[in-house]
Amino acid sequence: MDPQAPYMGLTDIMQEIMGLTDILCRELQHKSQDIVNGMNLVGTTKSALHKLRLTGWETFIRKVYLFCKKQDIDMPHLNAQYKVGTRCSCQQNDNITVEHHYHFDIFNDAIDFHLVELNSGFSEGAIELLILSSALDPSDSFKSFNIDKICILAERFYPQDFTPQELQILRCELKLYEADVPHHPVLQKVSSLSELCR
């Protein structure tokens, strides 16, 4: 087996994973990116990585095989025992195959690392909070304004601040606010939440 063969596959793994996450990173850096689309893209990226983890191994190993064949590199024998270190049998801890090592210890672990990073940065609660908060966005003449989302935001994330009765009052106040916005030129010019709070 050519000693470079395993490394060829590693670059393919990283290229695939980084391709998926790079799209997300670039989109989140756009100032014009709205919160809802950004959070949807986070979810889509997580799903794509999860799908790659579940179904991408066969496609990946086929690519490695074709690359090795094209470059006249000996493809590793996937059913052979994977050996660590000097390959001396006394250093081997368990009997795993080369395929098992690359599939589970490299391929899946690389994907899992990125999924953990995405999950820690974008938990379900954080995503929900951001999506619901987008209902307060005054840009484009309050296009995103959504009374139901604002009430859900108040109920789920600020339960100590609103009694059930106050939530009903909030809904009524928001209906009046929604009807009033088109008649206020000052509010129509507001383009950010921070401007609205002034």
Averaged pLDDT of the chain: 83
Distance of CA 133 to the CA centre of its chain: 19
How far from 169 is each of 87, 99, 158, 163, CA to CA, in Å? Answer: 73, 62, 15, 10
Alpha-carbon gap, residue 192 to 174, rounded angstroms = 18
pLDDT tens, 34-65? 666 777 888 899 999 999 999 999 988 888 88
For residue 81, list its beta bridge partners.
97
| 136-144 mean pLDDT | 80
- Asked if 39 and 47 count as a contact pair (C-beta separation under 8 A), the reply is no
Is residue 132 predicted with pLDDT exceeding 80?
Answer: yes
For residue 97, list its beta bridge partners.
81
Is residue 170 predicted with pLDDT exceeding 90?
Answer: yes
Is residue 4 predicted with pLDDT exceeding 70?
Answer: no
Contacts of 96 (CB under 8 A, 6+ apart): 81, 82
